[in-house]
């Protein structure tokens, strides 16, 4: 692999760590240059603006999320094993991936009222995620693992809600029981939708 892509990957790794603790809004070419021990002009060659940097950080986070959470889950058997794999992978992502927690959660709070390409990209990724979860549920219904009257969009809403609550309780409130509560909520959801 050539030096350019390796350098860019290292810069994005550093940017993801910074964005997870300080948010996308605090992420700047200058801050990242200092953290990556590069000149601003060297960093500017990779990202032409703060907005471009923010977009690239979200793209890198999205690629990682797909690789670590979604893709492994989709290799599991349809129905409960697949939905549970997604849930477990996502718990691990939120707990372990970045020092400040999920980049998407921080960005969602930061960008919900700020129109523009960065928010648009974040909205697109979150809609895609909701649809992916709903599709996992549809596949479970088709294979008769979940009840035929289950609403896939409602299940997707509830799965995301459980994981958002886990993030808030574990990160903001430092509740040591957050993971146990999230698992209980998820198990209750599975009990309701099982065929």
Domain of 134, CATH number, reads 1.10.357.10
Helices (H) and strands (E) in the chain, counts: 10, 0
Closest by CA to 171, choosing from 81, 71, 94, is 94
Give a yes or no: residue 12 inside a domain.
Answer: no
Give a yes or no: residue 167 inside a domain.
Answer: yes
146 beta partners? 194
Give a yes or no: residue 74 inside a domain.
Answer: yes
Q: What domain range includes position 153?
A: 51-193
Residue 3 has a pLDDT of 64
Closest by CA to 70, choosing from 79, 82, 80, 60, is 82
Asked if residue 164 lies in contact with residue 90, where contact means CB atoms within 8 angstroms, the answer is no
Give a yes or no: residue 143 inside a domain.
Answer: yes
Residue 121 has a pLDDT of 97
Residue 1 has a pLDDT of 41
Give a yes or no: residue 100 inside a domain.
Answer: yes
194 beta partners? 146
Sort 118 into a burial class: Cβ within 10 Å, 0-12 / 13-18 / 19+: buried
Give a yes or no: residue 176 inside a domain.
Answer: yes
Give a yes or no: residue 139 inside a domain.
Answer: yes
Asked if residue 182 lies in contact with residue 164, where contact means CB atoms within 8 angstroms, the answer is no
Asked if residue 175 lies in contact with residue 169, where contact means CB atoms within 8 angstroms, the answer is yes
Give a yes or no: residue 21 inside a domain.
Answer: no
Q: How far apart are CA 74 and CA 156, in angstroms?
A: 15
Model pTM score: 0.90
Q: How far apart are CA 76 and CA 96, in angstroms?
A: 22
Which residues of the chain register pLDDT less than 70? 1-3
The domain tally of the chain equals 1
């Amino acid at each position: 692999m050539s030096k350019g892509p390796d350098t860019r990957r290292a810069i994005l790794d550093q940017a993801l760590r910074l964005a997870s603790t300080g948010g996308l809004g605090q992420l700047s070419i200058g801050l990242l240059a200092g953290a990556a021990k590069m000149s601003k002009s060297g960093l500017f060659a990779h990202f032409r603006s703060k907005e471009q940097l923010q977009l690239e950080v979200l793209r890198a986070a999205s690629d990682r999320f797909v690789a670590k959470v979604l893709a492994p889950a989709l290799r599991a058997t349809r129905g409960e094993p697949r939905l549970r794999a997604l849930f477990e992978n996502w718990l691990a992502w939120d707990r372990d991936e970045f020092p400040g927690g999920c980049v998407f959660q921080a960005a969602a709070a930061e960008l919900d009222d700020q129109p523009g390409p960065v928010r648009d990209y974040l909205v697109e990724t979150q809609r895609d995620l909701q649809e992916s979860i709903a599709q996992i549920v549809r596949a479970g219904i088709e294979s008769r693992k979940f009840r035929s009257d289950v609403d896939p969009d409602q299940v997707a809403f509830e799965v995301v809600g459980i994981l958002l609550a886990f993030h808030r309780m574990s990160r903001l409130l430092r509740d040591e029981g957050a993971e146990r509560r999230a698992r209980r909520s998820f198990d209750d959801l599975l009990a309701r939708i099982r065929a």
